[in-house]
Each structure stands twice: as C-alpha cells, then as structure tokens.
Amino acid sequence: MTEGWSKKVFLRLEPPSPEDPASLQERILKGLSGSASFSEGRREPVRIRPAVLGEAGEILKQQGWEVTAVLGFDGDVWELLRLEAGDTAKEHYGLCVDLGSTTILMELVDMNTGEVRGRESTFNPQIAFGEDILTRIFYTKDRPEHRVELQKAAAEGLRELMEHLSEKTGADAFSCASMILSGNTTMIHFLLGLDAFGVFQSPYAVETLAPDVCRGEELGLPFKGFVYCYPALANYLGGDIVSGMIATGIPDREEICVFLDVGTNGELIVGNKDFLLAGAGAAGPALEGGVVHTGMRASKGAVDRVSASEGQLRVHVIGEGQAEGICGSGIVDLLSELFLNGWMDIRGRIGEDAPPAVKTPEGMAVEYAPGLYFYQSDVDEFLKTKAAAMTMVEYMMGLIGLSMEEVGRFYVAGAFGTHIDKESGVTIGMYPDIDREKIISPGNTSLLGARKMLLERSAREKAAEILERMEYVQFGAVEDFIHRMAAARAVPHTDLQRFPSVVKKLEERMKNKGC
C-alpha cells in the first residue's frame, strides 16, 4: 500500500475512566498506533502542537470520542493537524501544483482513490513584476522588499486556486493537509521568499536546491498543512524535471529514454535505470512561438494545424474564429508542409514558388492566414532552436555511444508535446525518425509528478536518489556544439539518412507531383 503525505484516520476512542485515566494526548496516540490504517501496528511518533491539542480536547469532550485524526508529514515525523468529529476519513484531499512562471496549475486529489477531483489554473500573479523570469530576478536583486512582493504574489496565486477548487469541487481545499509543488528553481525561490539571483549569475550558487518541508502558514498560505517542493539538480534544472522523472518512471526503465521539456527553457534528460544524463539550454521560447513575429500561445485565435493540398495552405484556428497568430504546433505543421511541398528547402529557405509567398522588408515570408506572415527570420529562429534541442539530444546520446535508433521512448513533455503532430515533428527533424509509438506526449509531467509524490511519499527518497544519480552535462562547455547545431538546423537534417521516413515521404510527394 502506498502512503501519501497526509492521512485521515478514524478513531473510536474510549473516554477516560478511573481504570484508564490516560491523558487525551496519550489516548489519541494510542488510538493511532492501534489503527491498522495508520501505522500497521508500529508505534510511529506523532507530534501534537499545544494549540492543536487544546482544540482536540474541546472536540473530544464536546463532540464525543469518535473522531477522525488529520495527519500531515513534516518531513521527519507525522503531526496531528486536527481532530474532526465523527468519521470523515472519506473526505481526504491533497493538493499538487505545477508552479510555472506564466501559469500555475493546481489539482485537488482524492487521497483515498488517487482520483483528480478538480484542476484549476491561473496566470502567475508574479507576471505583474515581469513577464519573464529574468525581469523578475532583476526586480528582486538586492531588494528584499521586492522578494516579499513576489513571495506574496505566488502565495496569492495558490490561494486563488484553492478557492476556485473549493468552489468547483465542493471539497474544502483549505482543509488539505499537504501540498506538493513542482517548479523550476527560480519559481521555488520566489515562493519561499528567497533571493533567486544565483540562478542567473555565475557561479550559479542558489539559496537552496532541496528546500525542507515547511508549513503552509510560513508561506502565507491559508491552510494548516505541510508544503513539499520537489528538489532540483541545478539552477537551470529544476524540481519540475525531477518531478517529470517520477511522472514518467524513466529512472527505472530498461529502454533508453529521452525526455525533452520545452518551456521557457529547454531541459533534457537521457537515461534509463542504468544512467541519467541531464542538461538544459535556451531551447524554449522559440519552439512555443515566443520569438516568432505572429507567434502566440495555443489559445483562441491561434493557428494550431496547417495542411497543404493542391498548392494551397489550409489552417485550423483554435476556437474556429479568425486567425490571430500561430502557435507551436501550427508552426511545426507549417514548416513541415512548406518543406514537403518543396516550398522551403533543406536549409529552411522559403522559395518564391510557394503559393502564399510574399516579399517583405524582412525578406521572404509566407502569408499563412489573411494578413498574417511567417517570415524567413521566423523560420531561422525556429530552426535554430529546434537545432539546439536536437543537438542536445544527439550530443547526449553520443556521450554514451548511442545513436537515435536506440531510443526506446522519446518523451516530449508539456503542452508543446501534446499538441504537435508527430509526423510534422519528424518531418522537420524536431523528433527523431523512430517508430511513432515511441514518441510520447506525457503532458504536464511536472504536475503529474507532483500528484504522484502527493499520493506516494516514498517518491521523496526516489527523488533524492534520482538527484544522486543524475549527471549534469554543460552544453556550453562542449567544443563542437556549434558545428553540430549547424548540421541539425537543416530540415530535417543535413544527414538525410537519419530520417528515412521523411525521405520516403518526399519521394512520394515527388511522385504525386509528377502525376
């Protein structure tokens, strides 16, 4: 049986009698150690704070001796957080969070069944202090009072989500006894009110990579429970990636796995049960459409699918309304179609024979929707980033003498991976040309890992073990990285042999064109 970060244990206590005048504390502890669902017979130490004991005494004396003990794990021992009258063990919830710099996502999880009762998201209120992480880091530099602002903003975001979850599910999120957070190193620093400048500045000594469990109250969160933040490997390799390892189970797998998380930053893990290499690089925003002129997130108005037939581009717009821009999956489709139709060459140059091609002051561009242009410079930016990501992967594989064919699972985490069309991804060389079922979009592994941790406390030791095993690869230090990247910039790659299925597709298209 797995054991989560909180417990609710129904206790049928005996009221004190002359034969058994033990203290209330002793009765509660005895009840717990006698409860199969709590300790399985072991006498686990359970701490009780004076205020909680006082309230517990009131409940026992006024509401009777059948109570439910709510217990939270403080990182070292269990602590009684409160007694509830009667048997409430069935209403037992916990919270898990993906603390992103843009979006905070929270789930209310049934601790008995593991079922997600509700999921809510909100923009990180820290955005008010800077859209991107670096702006926020500089905002707080040498200004402890600004750190307080960011800390409060993070707490407010979490509080808001707890409120929404309570409304939506009818369960009281504020009564949860535990919250597991996964986020990058900077986000965790901000949440804890810590100076994050070390994330950015050499020698990259941060305040903490493995914060201790703390109380919600310490963070200004309106709940009496404990908060655990996933530990990180390094400044640019945060707890969200370790959480992803727990989510995917890569560190226990037989087959070679690649784990690519493209968010604000790009993080990469290559490994299995025998080894774990980790690296990070600036491989993010471009892939999500961040650096593209008309790029936008995958929300209403974004072109998320592009196809071509009979010399025409056809686009799908999220929300079915007018196109306002293009998101990551749209870009990948677009580039794939441009390439397969011969409208863009292997070097990523848009050809003048492309149907919607136009010449602009910025050079060639494709008008993918009325009035919306995808410029040559956008293509270049995007390919540069995909090249960076792919080179990281290849370089790491090479480090251990493996080729891409040996990849057993290629995970692309996050919303990006979820929306990308696998074929298009392979076509432009963003994904390796392997069996498509080996390309996996596990979704938000940061959140998923947080949920797993919430429900299975032993994952904490697992996370520590993963960190012990992980070897951090510094790409900046790699000599021929630039050279390798240039090769990976081509569509799909200068070495076409690596992409036999793309070659096949090209050949088929040619044949069809020839018809």
Among 100, 211, 225, 263, binds a copy of itself (CB under 8 A): 211
Residue 25 or 33 with smaller CB distance to a copy of itself:
25
Where is 391: in which H helix or E strand? helix 376-399
464 binds a copy of itself (CB under 8 A): no
- Per the CB < 8 A criterion, the answer to whether 157 and 151 are in contact is no
For a copy of itself, the binding residues in 225-244 under the rule CB under 8 A are: 234-235
Residues 6+ apart with CB under 8 A from 425: 332, 336, 412, 431, 439
Candidates 9, 106, 206, 340; binder of a copy of itself (CB under 8 A) is 206
Bridge partners of residue 17, in order along the sequence: 20
Residue closest to 430 by CA, chosen among 510, 331, 507: 331
Q: Residue 359 interacts with a copy of itself (CB under 8 A)?
A: no
- Note whether 29 and 9 are within 8 A (CB): no
- Give 20's strand partners: 17
For a copy of itself, the closer of residues 137 and 247 by Cβ is: 137
The binder of a copy of itself chosen from 208, 272, 377, 501 (CB under 8 A): 208
Is position 321 an interface residue for a copy of itself (rule: CB under 8 A)? no
Contact flags string 135-174 toward a copy of itself, x per CB under 8 A = ---------x--x---------------------------
User: Which residue lies nearer to a copy of itself by CB, 211 or 289?
Assistant: 211
Verify binding: residue 71, a copy of itself, rule CB under 8 A.
Answer: no
Candidate list 156, 172, 207, 423; residue touching a copy of itself; CB under 8 A: 207
Q: Which residues of 247-284 are buried (b: 16+ CB within 10 A; e: fewer)?
A: bbebbeeeebbbbbbbbbbbbbbbbbeeebbbbbbebb
> Smaller CB distance to a copy of itself: residue 147 or 489?
147
Residue 251, CA distances (Å) to 223, 244, 397 in order: 34, 10, 16
Please say which residue, 2 or 201, places its beta carbon nearer to a copy of itself. Answer: 201
The residue ranges of DSSP E strands in 292-381, in sequence order, are: 302-309, 312-317, 325-326, 357-360, 363-369, 372-375
Give me the least distance between CB of 157 and a copy of itself, in Å please: 17
Fill in the per-residue mask, 381 to 400: x = in contact with a copy of itself (CB under 8 A), - = not in contact. --------------------
> Cα–Cα distance between 44 and 34 in angstroms, integer?
10
> How many residues sit close enough to a copy of itself to count as binding (CB under 8 A)?
48
Task: List the one residue out of 501, 285, 286, 282 whose CA is nearest residue 404.
Answer: 501
Distance of CA 366 to the CA centre of its chain: 33
The residue from 2, 12, 40, 51 that contacts a copy of itself (CB under 8 A) is 51
Residues engaged in binding a copy of itself (CB under 8 A) = 16-18, 20-27, 45, 47-51, 53-54, 57-58, 61, 75-77, 144, 147, 192-195, 198, 202-212, 214, 218-219, 234-235
